[in-house]
């Protein structure tokens, strides 16, 4: 379980950050940022390292793998991370892996720099992320570290839970579940009703003990879409675990990790349910996914979202034989904005134009910031109505620009292509046509 969490974490670090090399690890016991705090590396995962470098890490762990809290020195703190410039890295820190970065920007990332992102839970460090070789060669900033810190936060929760599950025997878990000091909720269910609920379970759902014990069937406490496996587990006394949505008395949703264990209660078969609140983790994961799909400047969807979803949209149109249109746009005169007003003003104008475009389309349509000042608009089930939308976009942007920045003469150039069952064009062909039509409009209207 711990190894899989570390492997998933290392993969996510490479996918969601600008770094090409990553080493993530889990500690035997939590560290605190102090010189006298020590622990051992329990396990690790890496991406971008050579076989010899990984062999060195394995030898380090086999030799004791002792790490010290002094490397998390407040002097080097940046947000919840620690950026240690070349020449300041503690001698005791190990194992040291030479950087592979060769092209050095004097004001950017240096080959001997070190960036550590601790996996924190309750101010205790249960593991860490270490990265190297940024693609852009830049030093880290608080903004660029947010994705790594969110990954570290989710990983800390997952690692802590995994350690708890692996360190307790089945008998010890059962004992822990039935104590009123348990941090998890506990139900014992039998014959479609709750026979026992501890204080944490009562707190999770917001019902009184009498209300819970009178509730029948008990699975109505959970989201309708999640009830089938719960009913089956109860009917067949199946052990296992799943993630599910509980419904509190006030109607709010709480995400739960539910573990079930067959047992006897009152000399009859029953099922013990362990309920761990994972709402914060689910919300953090949702936020990570949302951030991965959004352009940070305009708030629009980005190309990653387009790549992830456009094939599904195309297949849906193919299945139902309905048209859909790709509309490509870019801002005419935007270079003058940056040259005459500055890049900060250019960023603000991009944000405002993105909002204008978003306001002109339907809820079923979506806008992508495709790059620079280019926007790609996806119009499901749209064919012959496109010209009216294009005219409206031209008018709205030009009127806005005339009032906002009359000295520039900003406008918008538009081209589009439509998939129909008759033509059945590929996605790459649709993009080529939309792009070509946009540039054809530029050429046909040089004054534009």
Both tokens of 447, joined, read 């004054």
In a domain, 59, yes or no: yes
Beta strands in 146-197 (DSSP E): 185-190, 193-197
**365 and 397 belong to one structural domain:** yes
**140 and 100 belong to one structural domain:** yes
Least reliable range by pLDDT among 8-12, 169-173, 315-319: 169-173
Q: Which of 159, 191, 217 is at the close of a domain?
A: 159
Mean pLDDT of the chain: 85
Q: Which of 280, 308, 335 is at the close of a domain?
A: 280
**155 and 175 belong to one structural domain:** no
**274 and 323 belong to one structural domain:** no
User: What's the confidence (pLDDT) of residue 392?
Assistant: 92
Both tokens of 210, joined, read 């009498």
Q: Which long-range contacts (CB under 8 A, 24 or more apart) does 95-104 make?
A: 95/56, 95/57, 95/60, 97/23, 97/49, 97/53, 97/56, 97/57, 97/132, 99/132, 99/133, 100/20, 100/21, 100/48, 100/132, 100/133, 101/132, 101/133, 101/134, 101/137, 103/137, 104/137
**231 and 96 belong to one structural domain:** no
Beta strands in 177-267 (DSSP E): 185-190, 193-197, 240-247, 253-265
User: What's the confidence (pLDDT) of residue 177?
Assistant: 47
In a domain, 93, yes or no: yes
SS3 state at 265: strand
pLDDT per position as a tens digit, 384-427: 678 889 999 999 999 999 998 888 888 999 999 998 888 888 88
pTM, two decimals, is 0.41
Cβ(106)–Cβ(113) below 8 Å = no
User: What's the confidence (pLDDT) of residue 448?
Assistant: 45
**193 and 318 belong to one structural domain:** no
Q: Which of 223, 255, 280 is at the close of a domain?
A: 280
**64 and 139 belong to one structural domain:** yes
**24 and 143 belong to one structural domain:** yes
In a domain, 429, yes or no: yes
Please report, for the domain that includes residue 395, its CATH number. 3.30.70.270
CA dihedral 20, 26, 27, 31 (to 10 degrees): 60
Domain hosting 401: range is 294-444
Least reliable range by pLDDT among 94-103, 122-131, 153-162, 280-289: 94-103
In a domain, 339, yes or no: yes
Q: DSSP of 81-142, one letter per residue?
A: EEEE-TT-S-TT----------S--TTS--TT-EEEEEEEETTEEEEEEEEEEETT-PPP-T
Cβ(367)–Cβ(377) below 8 Å = yes
Within 10 angstroms of residue 191's Cβ, the number of other Cβ atoms is 12
Read off the DSSP letter of residue 372. T
Please report, for the domain that includes residue 174, its CATH number. 3.30.450.20
Q: What mean pLDDT do residues 301-318 have?
A: 85
**202 and 247 belong to one structural domain:** yes
pLDDT per position as a tens digit, 146-203: 889 999 998 898 888 887 766 544 444 554 444 455 578 888 899 889 988 888 899 9
**182 and 122 belong to one structural domain:** no
Cβ(94)–Cβ(25) below 8 Å = no
In a domain, 345, yes or no: yes
306 pLDDT band (50/70/90 cuts)? confident
**276 and 325 belong to one structural domain:** no
In a domain, 133, yes or no: yes
Alpha-carbon distance of 29 to 50, in angstroms, equals 28
264 pLDDT band (50/70/90 cuts)? confident
**202 and 143 belong to one structural domain:** no
Both tokens of 93, joined, read 């820190």
114 pLDDT band (50/70/90 cuts)? confident
Find the radius of gyration of the CA atoms of the chain: 28
Please report, for the domain that includes residue 50, its CATH number. 3.30.450.40
Number of domains forming the structure of the chain: 3
In a domain, 307, yes or no: yes
| The Cα angle at residue 41 between residues 39 and 44, in degrees rounded to 5 | 155
In a domain, 411, yes or no: yes
Highest mean pLDDT among 21-25, 142-146, 331-335: 21-25
């Amino acid at each position: 379980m711990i190894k899989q969490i570390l492997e998933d974490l290392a993969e996510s670090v490479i996918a969601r950050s600008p770094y090409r090399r990553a080493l993530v690890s889990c500690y035997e016991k939590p560290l605190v940022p102090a010189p006298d705090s020590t622990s051992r590396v329990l396990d690790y995962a890496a991406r971008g390292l050579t076989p010899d470098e990984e062999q060195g890490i394995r030898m380090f762990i086999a030799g004791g793998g002792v790490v010290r809290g002094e490397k998390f020195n407040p002097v080097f703190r940046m947000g919840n991370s620690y950026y240690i410039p070349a020449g300041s890295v503690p001698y005791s820190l190990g194992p040291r892996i030479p950087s592979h970065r060769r092209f050095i920007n004097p004001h950017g990332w240096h080959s001997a720099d070190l960036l550590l992102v601790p996996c924190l839970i309750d101010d205790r460090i249960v593991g860490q992320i270490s990265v190297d070789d940024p693609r852009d060669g830049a030093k880290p900033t608080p903004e660029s570290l947010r994705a790594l810190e969110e990954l570290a936060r989710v990983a800390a929760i997952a690692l802590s839970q995994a350690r708890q599950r692996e360190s307790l025997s089945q008998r010890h878990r059962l004992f822990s579940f039935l104590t009123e000091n348990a941090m998890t909720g506990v139900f014992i269910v039998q014959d479609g009703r709750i026979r026992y609920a501890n204080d944490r379970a009562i707190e999770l759902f917001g019902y009184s003990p009498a209300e819970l014990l009178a509730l029948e069937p008990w699975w109505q406490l959970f989201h309708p879409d999640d009830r089938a496996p719960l009913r089956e587990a109860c009917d067949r006394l199946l052990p296992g675990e799943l993630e599910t949505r509980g419904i509190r008395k006030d109607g709010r949703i709480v995400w739960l990790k539910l573990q079930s264990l067959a047992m006897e209660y009152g000399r009859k078969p029953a099922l013990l349910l362990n309920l761990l609140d994972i709402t914060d983790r689910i919300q953090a994961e949702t936020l990570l996914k949302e951030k991965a799909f959004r352009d940070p400047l305009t708030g629009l969807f980005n190309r990653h979202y387009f790549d992830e979803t456009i094939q599904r949209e195309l297949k849906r149109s193919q299945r139902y034989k309905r048209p859909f249109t790709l509309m490509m746009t870019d801002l005419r005169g935007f270079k003058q904005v940056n040259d005459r007003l500055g890049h900060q003003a250019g960023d603000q104008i991009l944000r405002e134009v993105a909002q204008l475009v978003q306001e002109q389309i339907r809820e079923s349509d979506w806008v992508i910031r495709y790059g620079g000042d280019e926007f790609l608009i996806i119009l499901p089930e749209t064919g012959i109505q496109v010209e009216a939308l294009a005219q409206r976009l031209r008018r709205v942007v030009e009127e806005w620009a005339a009032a906002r920045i009359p000295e520039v003469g900003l406008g918008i150039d538009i081209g589009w292509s439509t998939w129909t069952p008759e033509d059945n064009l590929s996605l790459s062909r649709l993009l080529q046509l939309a792009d070509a039509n946009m540039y054809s409009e530029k050429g046909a209207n040089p004054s534009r």
